[in-house]
Homo-oligomer: A and B are copies of this chain.
Amino acid sequence: MAGLGRVKALLFDVFGTVVDWRGALLAEGEALARAKGVSVDWPRFIAAWESARRPAMDRVNAGEIPWTNVSEIYRRRLDEVLPGFGLESMDEPEREHFNRVWCRPNPWPDTLPALARLGRKFVLATLTNNDFAWAVAMAKHARLPWDCILTAELFRRYKPAPETYRGALALLAVRPEEAMMVASHNYDLRAAQAQGLRTAFFPRKEHGEGQTRDQAPEGAWDIVTGDLSELADRLGA
Query: Total interface residues on A, using CB and 8 Å?
Result: 21
Contact among B123, B149, B173 with A148 in the assembled complex (CB-CB below 8 Å): B149
User: Using an 8 Å CB-CB cutoff, how does the interface string of A111-133 with B read, 1 for contact, 0 for none?
Assistant: 00000000000010100000111
Q: Given A133-B173, A171-B132, A173-B131, is A147 in contact with B139 using a C-beta cutoff of 8 Å?
A: yes
Q: Which of B71, B123, B136, B147 contacts A172 (CB 8 A)?
A: B136
Cα-based distance from A142 to B171 in the complex (angstroms): 20
Q: Report which A residues bind B (CB closer than 8 A).
A: 71, 123, 125, 131-133, 135-137, 139-140, 146-149, 153-154, 171-174
Q: List 13 A-B contacts (CB under 8 A).
A: A71-B173, A125-B136, A132-B148, A132-B172, A133-B171, A133-B172, A133-B174, A136-B172, A139-B147, A147-B149, A149-B149, A154-B154, A154-B171
